[in-house]
């Protein structure tokens, strides 16, 4: 078994490549199916090819000089000679204060054309030979897209190295053995290599599309989940080694309950995040599909390869803390926690619930209006510097594209010209779908821009009905927010249903699943409230993307139920021979350490996402990390066991505890 899995892992490495190579970042990859802006992109692609505008901004601390204008015009001629540069929207436009110039360069958005190299070439041209003191930036949709892609490319290796380091440090801290950590680490690495190769193959064949931060979330998710399952199975094996001298029998006993728990956990997590595949938003579907496939493959590796490695290592792998038959486990901390829960269950669950409820008050600070492009990165990228320069010298502008059938183009042109907030409009040449490049007086992805887009769409629809569409960069951001809200109404109930059904089958109860789901929902709300207050009051992130709350719910629900399963499956197992209250305390003592260690691993794995210079990814990593800690420290240690102890046998209704 070990040789077979190692061979599979080696073959997987040889046959695959970096996930970033199959990431899709252009076209309508971030939009929702059926969104109006997506239809605009499709029509443009069929008619003349999609165009990505890049704004080149020249800025001088003082007034512009004649040499600056000559240099900008010379740059325009060089821009036009770059392959896949379609043309210029206008000549250099000076600012009212005479300190800046702005040029709109139109880049090809056809499939297969990479925006990043194009933008890099524009930046090189704008910098070379520029007069002393003249500063240039490439911003707009093209500049932001290039910086977005490059931000992933620069840190992917760092992310993988940090994920490995986190797993290694936690394993060393938990096992305190120079040998034992090798066994789970080898299984975790094989699980990652095999699952990553499968995702790569699916993406390369067109059966799956990787978008946005899918490869990064996939990486930390697989490392975290694989390590969690390794901790659980190794802990069960060590527990059985203290009960018998037969290592094979100890492993068999450990796997009899452990594998069922791991599979139930995997189905819950994969089923939870897998519900995202029904979403309309492309990025949500991408993460859901990749995560579900990765978790299932990881589970297959951990329940086959890891037991084989444990059997090879045997008792001696635990040296110097070798477990001996008849030895009593040292669980002083968790014995104390179980004692408190057993003696004061009402205080334990009421106090935990009150603490979580108080954290929910932070929800009043939550703003999901969306992150403006100028605030998308944690570091000062060239596109962000360009946005800042534009704000200093030009009125706020949000680019919009209006398409109208030729027979309705005159009416559409008239209403667009008269619409509120329109500061510029450039009609395109006659075509089956005539193009109007429009600029609104607002910054993209802000409430003002959203209002102006809605007003413009209403006016265009009244003038031409379905014969006109409003799209472009600004409306794409708005359509993503709307689609995420619609997805939430579909995905959230589906996740609750899927998770509930799995819990009902596992625990053979109706009351216990409802109780566990309720605690996780409360934990999610508390985490979201705490993180919202943290973002706004301390970290300077006043807004989040509309998809943030949905991502938070999916991951925290899946992982929260995951740890609930670790605990309650053991309670169910012990309830066959013990009273439910005693079984709860025994399970808390037995699983408290491993659940806490698993939580630390998963929290640290998602915290690694904060190395990415993208604010939405940093926010997601922090939220999941904090949420997992709250789950393991508050919910799984006090709230759930105290409620189970308080309810006793009633928690298994309608089944009997001994069934």
User: What is the spatial distance between Cα 347 and Cα 337, in angstroms, rounded to a whole number?
Assistant: 13
- For residues 568 and 509, the answer to whether their CB atoms sit within 8 Å is no
Residue indicated by tokens 């799956």? 208
- What burial class does residue 229 get, using C-beta atoms within 10 Å of its C-beta: 0-12 exposed, 13-18 middle, 19+ buried? buried
Residue 233: which residues within 8 A CB-CB, separation 6 or more? 254, 255, 258, 259, 262, 302, 303, 306, 307, 310
- For residues 58 and 101, the answer to whether their CB atoms sit within 8 Å is yes
User: What is the spatial distance between Cα 243 and Cα 588, in angstroms, rounded to a whole number?
Assistant: 19
Q: What is the pLDDT of residue 429?
A: 83
User: What is the spatial distance between Cα 226 and Cα 602, in angstroms, rounded to a whole number?
Assistant: 10
Lay out the sheet containing 422-427: strands in order across: 422-427, 433-440, 398-405, 468-471
Fill in the DSSP letter of residue 429. Answer: -
Q: What is the pLDDT of residue 350?
A: 95
- For residues 28 and 41, the answer to whether their CB atoms sit within 8 Å is yes
Packed helices 615-630 and 548-574: angle between N→C axes, nearest 10 degrees: 20
Q: What is the pLDDT of residue 614?
A: 86
Q: What is the pLDDT of residue 25?
A: 67
Which tokens sit at 154? 């620069």
User: What is the spatial distance between Cα 222 and Cα 191, in angstroms, rounded to a whole number?
Assistant: 8
What is 440-471 written as a DSSP string?
ESS-TTSHHHHHHHHHHHHHHHHHHGGGEEEE
DSSP SS3 for 427 = strand
Which tokens sit at 547? 């998809």
Calculate the alpha carbon distances from 411 to 432, 457, 560 in Å: 15, 14, 55
Residue 180: which residues within 8 A CB-CB, separation 6 or more? 171, 234, 313, 317, 318, 319
Give the helix, strand, coil percentages of the chain, each rounded to 5: 70, 10, 20
Smallest Cα–Cα separation from 512: which of 572, 562, 582? 572
Q: What is the pLDDT of residue 656?
A: 60
Smallest Cα–Cα separation from 232: which of 259, 213, 207, 252? 259
DSSP SS3 for 64 = coil
Calculate the alpha carbon distances from 118 to 52, 59, 145, 374, 556 in Å: 11, 21, 11, 21, 39
Fill in the DSSP letter of residue 226. Answer: H
Low pLDDT (below 50) residues in the chain = 657-659
Residue 300: which residues within 8 A CB-CB, separation 6 or more? none
Smallest Cα–Cα separation from 231: which of 120, 297, 306? 306
- For residues 605 and 622, the answer to whether their CB atoms sit within 8 Å is no
Which tokens sit at 166? 């986190």
∠ CA 210-104-447, rounded to 5°: 65
User: What is the spatial distance between Cα 602 and Cα 598, in angstroms, rounded to a whole number?
Assistant: 6
- For residues 501 and 514, the answer to whether their CB atoms sit within 8 Å is no
User: What is the spatial distance between Cα 635 and Cα 353, in angstroms, rounded to a whole number?
Assistant: 9
User: What is the spatial distance between Cα 168 and Cα 155, in angstroms, rounded to a whole number?
Assistant: 20
Q: Which residue spans within 125-168 are E strands per DSSP?
A: 135-139
Residue indicated by tokens 């620069």? 154
Q: How many C-beta atoms surround the C-beta of residue 345 within 10 A? A: 22
Q: How many C-beta atoms surround the C-beta of residue 227 within 10 A? A: 31
User: What is the spatial distance between Cα 41 and Cα 552, in angstroms, rounded to a whole number?
Assistant: 30
Give the dihedral sign, CA 598/602/607/611: positive
> Which residues are registered as beta bridge partners of 103?
56
Residue indicated by tokens 């305390």? 585
Residue 355: which residues within 8 A CB-CB, separation 6 or more? 526, 634
Name the CA radius of gyration of the chain, rounded. 28
- For residues 470 and 401, the answer to whether their CB atoms sit within 8 Å is yes
Smallest Cα–Cα separation from 18: which of 286, 224, 146, 204? 204
∠ CA 217-52-70, rounded to 5°: 125
Pairing state of beta strands 23-24 and 210-211?
Answer: parallel
Q: Which residue spans within 47-120 are E strands per DSSP?
A: 51-59, 85-88, 93-94, 100-108
């Amino acid at each position: 078994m070990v040789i077979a899995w190692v061979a599979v892992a080696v073959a997987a490495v040889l046959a695959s490549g970096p996930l970033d190579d199959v990431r899709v970042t252009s076209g309508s990859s971030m939009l929702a199916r059926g969104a109006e802006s997506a239809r605009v992109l499709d029509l443009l692609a069929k008619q003349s090819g999609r165009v990505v505008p890049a704004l080149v901004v020249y800025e001088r601390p003082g007034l512009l000089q004649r040499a600056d204008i000559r240099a900008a015009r010379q740059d325009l001629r060089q821009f036009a000679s770059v392959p896949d540069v379609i043309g210029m929207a206008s000549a250099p436009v000076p600012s009212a204060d005479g300190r800046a110039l702005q040029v709109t360069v139109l880049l090809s958005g056809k499939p297969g054309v990479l925006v990043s190299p194009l933008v890099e070439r524009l930046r090189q041209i704008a910098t070379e030979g520029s007069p002393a003191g003249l500063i240039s930036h490439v911003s707009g949709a093209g500049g932001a897209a290039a910086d977005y892609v490059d931000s992933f490319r620069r840190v992917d290796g760092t992310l993988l190295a940090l994920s490995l380091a986190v797993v290694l440090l936690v394993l060393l801290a938990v096992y305190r053995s120079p040998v034992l950590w090798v066994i789970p680490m080898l299984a975790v690495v094989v699980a990652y290599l095999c699952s990553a190769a499968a995702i790569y193959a699916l993406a390369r064949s067109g059966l799956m599309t990787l978008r946005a931060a899918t490869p990064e979330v996939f990486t930390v998710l697989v490392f975290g989940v694989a390590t969690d399952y390794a901790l659980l199975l190794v802990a069960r094996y060590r527990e059985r080694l203290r009960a018998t001298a037969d290592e094979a029998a100890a492993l068999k006993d450990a796997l009899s309950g452990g594998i069922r728990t791991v599979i139930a956990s995997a189905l819950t997590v994969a089923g939870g995040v897998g519900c995202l595949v029904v979403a309309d938003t492309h990025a949500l579907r991408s993460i859901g599909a990749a995560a579900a496939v990765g978790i299932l493959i990881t589970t297959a590796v951990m329940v086959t390869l890891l037991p084989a490695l444990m059997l090879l290592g045997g008792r001696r792998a635990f040296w110097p803390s070798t477990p001996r038959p008849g030895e009593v486990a040292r669980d002083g901390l968790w014995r104390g926690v179980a004692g408190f829960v057993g003696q004061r269950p009402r205080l334990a669950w009421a106090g935990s619930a009150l603490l979580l409820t108080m954290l929910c008050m932070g929800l009043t600070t939550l703003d999901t209006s969306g992150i403006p492009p100028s605030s998308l990165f944690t570091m000062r990228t060239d596109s962000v510097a360009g946005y800042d320069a534009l704000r200093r010298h030009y009125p706020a502008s949000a680019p919009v594209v209006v398409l109208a059938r030729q027979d309705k183009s005159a009416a559409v042109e008239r209403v667009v010209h008269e619409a509120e907030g329109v500061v510029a409009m450039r009609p395109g040449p006659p075509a089956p779908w005539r193009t109007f490049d429009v600029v609104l007086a607002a910054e993209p992805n802000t409430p003002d821009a959203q209002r102006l887009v809605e007003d413009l769409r209403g006016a265009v629809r009244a003038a031409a009905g379905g014969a006109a569409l409003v799209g472009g960069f600004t409306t794409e951001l708005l359509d993503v927010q709307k689609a995420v809200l619609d997805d939430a109404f579909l995905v959230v109930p589906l996740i609750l249903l899927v998770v509930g059904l799995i819990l009902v089958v596992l625990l053979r109860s109706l009351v216990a699943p409802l109780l566990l789901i309720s605690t996780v929902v409360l934990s999610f709300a508390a985490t979201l409230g705490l993180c919202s207050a943290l973002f706004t009051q301390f970290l300077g992130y006043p807004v989040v993307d509309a998809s943030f709350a949905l991502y938070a719910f999916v991951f925290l629900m899946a992982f929260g139920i995951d740890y609930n399963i670790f605990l309650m499956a053991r309670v169910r197992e012990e309830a066959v021979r013990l009273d439910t209250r005693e079984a709860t305390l025994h399970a808390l003592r037995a699983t408290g350490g491993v659940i806490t260690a698993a939580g630390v691993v998963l929290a640290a794995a998602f915290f690694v996402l904060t190395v990415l210079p993208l604010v939405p990814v940093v926010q997601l990593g922090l939220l999941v990390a904090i949420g997992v800690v709250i789950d393991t420290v508050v919910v799984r240690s006090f709230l759930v066991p105290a409620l189970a102890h308080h309810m006793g046998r009633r928690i298994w209704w309608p089944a009997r505890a001994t069934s």
